[in-house]
Every structure is written in structure tokens, then in C-alpha cells.
Amino acid sequence: MAGNKQKEELSQAARAVRAVILNELKGNAPNITNLSVVAAQEKNIKGRAYTKFTLDTDVSQITQPGQSADGQVVPNQAAANKAIKAVAMDRSPHMRETLRQSLISRADKGFGLSGRKITIPLNQPDIIVHSNCNACNGQGGALCPTCRGQGQMHCPACRGRRQQPCPMCRGQGQVNSQKGNKPCAQCAGRGHTTCARCRGSGSVACTNCRQAGKMPCRECNSTGQTSEIFKIQLIASTFFELENSDESSMPEIFKKSLEENTSAMLSSGILRVSPLTDNASSGRNLDEQELEIGYNFEMQYGEMTFSLNGHDFVCAYAPKNEQILNCPPFLEQFGAGGITNLHKAAKAPPMQTEGLVREAAKFKFIRELVYVRSKNKMARAIKKMATVHRYGLHPGTIQGMATSLNKVFYDLSRAGRIKGLLGGLSASLVLNMLYFLTPSRAMILGATPSALKETLCDLCVFGLAVTLNMTLIKLIGKTSLNRSLSDIIGQKISVRASHLPYGKTRLMGVFGNIVLFAGTYYLALILGRISSSVVMRIIYQ
């Protein structure tokens, strides 16, 4: 029964590997006539490994308002430093075992960590120092500037006089009637009434401090106290080493995966890890700041040999989930023509570039690279291609192709960029002539031109000419490149302007605009079109 089950697992794995290979070859190697699995077997590698942790203390300090009691309270900074040092130097057996348990409880169990820095939280209370708030000197706030600490302010209605002019007689004490003036009934002839807002007291509650007499302190939440909290944790620098394992039979990618994808390998069942109980099981002499954890590990994977047109390739896979773990870049052999032509196109004269790219684009992965690169920056395009072709192409090969494609983009856009450069310079010449050789400049400067105004206007015209030139280089160069790539690839390609290689075209455009501007300026001086020139004044001063 066990043999039949293993045979069925191998058959399923063979079908999975075959499907992946055919998917990679689709559109890339149309002449494949024979694809078969030659051999398949399960392998088991056992060994021992060690992860060494070099420990260092990291102390972070935060300030909180009020008197925090969630930790170890000490009287002053000196006591805090002493407590921090005691925790940092604690390498007792109990502490080391606590650290060890903290590490092996991670998802990766601390296995495979190398060249990284990890944070190890300590089961230690925070160190706390209480002190008076510096912002308010421990008073919980400052005197209110409006009421000067009284909580009351002058009534804004009567300005502290407790009385208001009578609204009926407007402070006269008399009102007009048919029989002449008579005493105001509302104020009894006094001309004023008791202030309705303060009711005759002359003061009201301060609106600034709300009758508290002082402004709240934001630093201490008006408690007058702050807490300096010191949080202590360990930072561990890691080093990983394999020992006593049959490394010769282990695929190279597994050695790298042990350090980079330990958690994924543990969850997939490929890797099993058992931490050793003895911290110093390697026999090394460790410093007080070092901690070492030893592991027994076991790797179970399948190895399959498949044949493509008479060429044998060996790949590794996970038997349980039928996932390919490692596969040689077979697509590089069957798609070598596309890769070679792309590299040739990058080195060939510009007149031969398009023909070589057409030959390279007969392979699907070349067309995919062109499309992905047109939409993404270099690094992102390489990452996407490596994800799509993680079995058939080596990442280094993809990076090399992307670099060559950059040069291809540059050559294919050359004609468009030159047209944009010449068109921009022509437009700049027309703009400069209209500005300097017609009354336009005099009209802009007005009847009383100043040196500053002349300089600003001239610089604005120069900047406008350069901007116009750069825009034409970008638009015409991009359009030319998109048209060429779309024709070669057979689908619409739209390269983003930010991904267009400009080379020295922009620099040539700026230099050309400087020459045109200076030449037109000098011509206007000779012809007398410029009546008040900053340059001429500088020369004759």
C-alpha cells in the first residue's frame, strides 16, 4: 500500500512538473517534440546547523504626561542608568534560557537566520523616572494672560463699569413726548441701567481659561508631572552555519532557501527542525554577549529528471503539495536565439537594431519583457519577469536582457528624438526672432524698462524655448519608439515618458537653445532692435 501511495505521489508530481514546463515553453520553443520524465525519486537529507546570536542592548526613551506606574519607578536618571545597565549585563543562565525560548518560539524557530538583525523583546518592566514638567515648572499650567490668574475678566459689555447706557433714552435720562421731555421710565431718569451681562458685578467668567485661572499644560496634561520611560530590548546580529550534513547532495537553491525562506519551508513540510537542548552544542567558546542554538534538521523533497528533445534536466519538488522548488533555466537553452539576438541588437549599429529585435521577438518571453519594461521601471520589470518565469529563466539572465533592452529603446527612439530636437530648435529660433527682432520685447518692457525687468523677461523667453524643445523631444521620441515597438511586437505598446532613455539629446537641446538665444540677442544688438540692453550697459560702465 505504501509503495502504491508513493508511486501515485510521484505520478502526480510528474504531471505537475510537466504542466509547468509546457506552460513555460508555450510560445517560446515551438519545436519541442519530446518531453518525458526519465526518473523520479524522493530524497531525505539530515544534518545539523547552528545559529549564533550576538546580543546588544537597545534602549528607547519616551516621555508621557503624568506619573506612570506601569514599570519599575526609580528616583532619578542616575538610578535609571544603573537599572538599565543591570538588565543589559544580565547573562545569567535563567536569562539565557529565556532568550533561547523567545527565539525558538518564532515561526522560523531562529533557524537559518544569517546576516540579519532581529529584535528580541525582554520580559522586563520598563524603567520609569518621574519629574516636574519643564514646560510649566510643575505648576500644571501657566497663569491665564487674560484674567491674570483670577478666573474672572472685565465684562466686555460694560467694560467693568457695572452699568450700561440706557437703550431707551441713549444715556440722556429724558425721552421726547407730546408734552415735551419727560424722565425715561426704563432708567428712572438716571441715563444708565445695571449691566445685564454681569448683573452689576463688573466681571464675568474668563472665556480663555474657563474660570480656572491658568492655561492647561499640554506636556503634562496639567498634572505638573511627566514620566521618562525607558524600554529595554535586545538586538541580535545573526550568523547561520550548516554542519554535519550531506551538502553535496543538497540542491544549491536549498542552501540559500534555508536562510531566506525557512518559515515557508517549515510550513510546506519540506523542512523539519528540532532545536537542541544544549546552547553550546557546537563546542565553541562563546562570549557573554553571544548565544548559540543548535538544530537537527531533516529535508524531504523529490528529485525528477525530465528530457526535452534529448536534453536532460533535473528539478526538485515538494512531494506533498506538488510544488516545484528548483528547476534549471531550461528556457535559456531553447530560447537562446531570442536572448542572443536581443544582446546583438543592443551592440549593433542603429540601422541593424530593428531587424535583430524582430528576430528576438519571435520568442514570447522577449515580447513579454518589452511589454513589462514599457510599463515599469527597470527594477520592477526585472522582478515581474522573474516571478512569471521563475523556472525557465535565471534572474541574472533576465537582468541582462533588461539592460540590453534599455539600449534597444535608446536606438529605436533615436530618429524620433533627433526630429524632436530639430523641431524644438526651429520653434526656439522662431520664438527668439519674434521676441528680439520685432517690437514685442519693447512692448513687454514698456516705456520705462529696468535692468531687472529686462533680465527676467529674457530669462522667461529662454526658459520657454527650452521647455518647448524638451517637450517636443519627449513627445516625438516617445511616439517614434511606441510605433516601432508596436510594429515589432504585434500589439500596442505605450512606453511611459519617464522610462524613455534620452541620452545626450536633452543636453544638446539646452546647448542649442543657448546658441540660438545668444545669436539672436547679438543680431538684435547689431540691428539696433534693442534700445536699452543690460548687456550693453554692463560693457560700457
Kindly report, residue by residue over 506-533, the tens digit of the pLDDT.
899 999 999 998 888 888 888 877 764 5
On whether residue 466 sits in a domain, the answer given is yes
Detail the DSSP E strand segments found in 145-224: 152-154, 163-165, 174-175, 182-183, 192-194, 203-205, 214-216
Q: Which domain range does residue 406 map to? A: 332-412
On whether residue 166 sits in a domain, the answer given is no
On whether residue 359 sits in a domain, the answer given is yes
Inter-residue contact 170 to 253 (CB < 8 Å): no
On whether residue 13 sits in a domain, the answer given is no
- Does residue 422 share a domain with residue 533? yes
- Does residue 372 share a domain with residue 454? no
- Does residue 524 share a domain with residue 435? yes
- Does residue 536 share a domain with residue 428? yes
On whether residue 535 sits in a domain, the answer given is yes
Of 376, 393, 412, the one marking the end of a domain is 412
Q: What is the per-residue pLDDT for 3?
A: 56
More confident residue, 519 or 222: 519
pLDDT(177) > 80: no
Inter-residue contact 277 to 33 (CB < 8 Å): no
Mean pLDDT value across the chain: 81
- Among 117, 365, 128, 81, CA closest to 228: 128
On whether residue 174 sits in a domain, the answer given is no
On whether residue 433 sits in a domain, the answer given is yes
At residue 538 the predicted structure's pLDDT band, cuts being 50, 70 and 90, is very low
Region of 160 (left: φ > 0; alpha: ψ -120 to 50; beta: rest) is left
- Does residue 526 share a domain with residue 423? yes
Q: What is the per-residue pLDDT for 436?
A: 85
- DSSP letters, 209-269, are TTTSSEEEPTTTTTSSEEEEEEEEEEEEEEEEEEESS-GGGS-HHHHHHHHH-HHHHHHHT
The three cell numbers locating residue 26: 508555450
Inter-residue contact 3 to 313 (CB < 8 Å): no
- Does residue 501 share a domain with residue 452? yes
At residue 539 the predicted structure's pLDDT band, cuts being 50, 70 and 90, is very low
Inter-residue contact 273 to 51 (CB < 8 Å): no
- Does residue 389 share a domain with residue 434? no
At residue 430 the predicted structure's pLDDT band, cuts being 50, 70 and 90, is very high
- Does residue 445 share a domain with residue 401? no
More confident residue, 41 or 128: 128
On whether residue 306 sits in a domain, the answer given is no
More confident residue, 90 or 337: 337
What does the radius of gyration of the chain's CA atoms come to, in whole angstroms? Answer: 41
Contacts 24+ apart (CB under 8 A), 389-392: 389/24, 389/331, 389/365, 391/20, 391/21, 391/24, 391/315, 391/324, 391/327, 391/329, 391/330, 391/331, 392/24, 392/25, 392/28, 392/327, 392/329, 392/330, 392/331, 392/332, 392/335, 392/365
- Would you say the pTM of this structure is higher than 0.75? no
- Does residue 428 share a domain with residue 536? yes
Of 377, 412, 447, the one marking the end of a domain is 412
pLDDT per residue as tens digits for the range 436-451: 888 888 888 777 777 7
pLDDT per residue as tens digits for the range 390-402: 778 888 898 999 9
Lowest mean pLDDT among 369-373, 385-389, 416-420: 385-389
- Does residue 506 share a domain with residue 463? yes
- Does residue 527 share a domain with residue 511? yes
Counting the structural domains of the chain, the total is 2
- Does residue 434 share a domain with residue 373? no
Of 412, 444, 466, the one marking the end of a domain is 412
> Which residues, other chains included, contact 319 with Cβ-Cβ below 8 Å and sequence gap of 6+?
9, 10, 13, 42, 300, 301, 302
